[in-house]
Amino acid sequence: MNIKIKYFNENLQKLEKITKGNWIDLRAAEDVVMKKGEFRLIPLGIAMELPRGYEAHVVPRSSTYKNYGLIQVNHQGVVDGPDRETGKGGYCGNDDQWFVPVYAMRDTEVHFNDRICQFRIMEQQPDITFEEVDELTGENRGGFGTTGTV
């Protein structure tokens, strides 16, 4: 699959696929200083023209909180690609730079090119319909978590 990508800064390290797993790291496109309790949209310095019928899921790296004390406030961002049927819409234009929305849990600094989140390209949800039934035939696990207990 070929995906067109635009970089907003020529010094931003180019994207690389992580060899173990299917996530690709994204980097801060500027130095950021935040005080505890501040919210900020950190620019990621890229825009992509996603293929029709696909979207990108942006999530924190496992080390983001430990290294920077940042929480991604939407927990998972979705970058919409073009509609699979019409090819229209999506966040795929020339000026549609990606950002990650974060909240600082402590005073912190993020430097240009620091890896702060990651993404993967996913196929958009297929067309589905819901059928109302009186009973389900799956195994009853108690309705909470994996153990059925609180």
- Structural domain contains residue 6: no
- pLDDT the model gives residue 129: 95
- If one counts the domains in the chain, the total is 1
Contact assessment for residue 47 and residue 53, using Cβ atoms and an 8 Å cutoff: no
- pLDDT the model gives residue 2: 84
Q: Tokens 């009853």 correspond to what residue? A: 140
CATH number for position 98 = 2.70.40.10
pTM for the whole thing?
A: 0.84
Contact assessment for residue 12 and residue 68, using Cβ atoms and an 8 Å cutoff: no
pLDDT tens track for 91-121: 889 999 999 999 999 999 999 999 999 999 9
b (16+ CB within 10 A) / e for 22-39:
ebebbbbbeebebeeeee
Give me the domain span that covers residue 114: 22-123
- Structural domain contains residue 40: yes
Which residues in the chain come in under a pLDDT of 70?
18-21, 143-150
- pLDDT the model gives residue 128: 92
Report, as residue numbers or ranges, the catalytic residues: 80
